[in-house]
Amino acid sequence: MKRILVVLSGLLLSGGVLAENKGLYSDTKVLRGTVISVGRVDPTENIGTGNYFDINYSSVAVNFGAATKKFGDTPIRPSTISLSPADGERVNNVYAGIGFSRIFQFQLGYGNHGDVLRLRSDFNFRAVSDFLARKSTPKDRLLLADRLTFSISVERYNDDDEEIFDNATWGVGLLF
């Protein structure tokens, strides 16, 4: 636990140092920014799907985020059936990590159910086409369709007692 907090604080401090050097990423053709997304949670437990709300900032090499997830509680399943202790549970986490823009992110997180590892990817058509064409579209020229982003992630909780919250998420969001 202490080791994870040290790593997270080191990532937070290094992000500020890297941001000051404007020439460091001047030739990189990726869109930096914040993605706000909503979607579906598919837990490993047999409790049906849930939903999530997520905010994630990514630069070229570092990323930060926060998410809240509600397990179970689907409208098509009667609420009187409880299949697991995770059913109806809300999980809140904060994350910090490294990766390549929004394409590939490896994050360490901590929340009300302990520490978690997350693998995340946010992708949209504009980011892929800009990267392949080696150009960069200014953020003020992005249309709504250019900002539409698809998010997927996989989470694994490190504590054996919390493995019922291991999950995969997928959703849609907007890039700001």
Q: What is the pLDDT of residues 68-79, one digit of tens each?
A: 999 876 555 555
Q: Among positive and negative, which fits the CA dihedral 2, 20, 94, 150? A: negative
Which domains does the chain show, CATH number per domain? Answer: 2-175 (2.40.160)
For residue 117, is pLDDT > 60?
Answer: yes
pLDDT in tens, 47-99: 778 899 999 999 888 999 999 999 876 555 555 555 677 777 899 999 999 99
Share of the chain above pLDDT 70, in %: 76
pLDDT for 150 equals: 96
Show the DSSP H helices in the chain as ranges: 2-20, 125-133, 144-147
- Confidence (pLDDT) at 125: 85
Q: CA 87, CA 163: separation in Å to the nearest integer?
A: 13
Kindly list the distances between the CA atom of residue 134 and the CA atoms of 24, 75, 91, 121, 155, in Å, as whole numbers in the listed order: 17, 45, 39, 20, 32
| % of the chain residues with pLDDT over 90 | 41
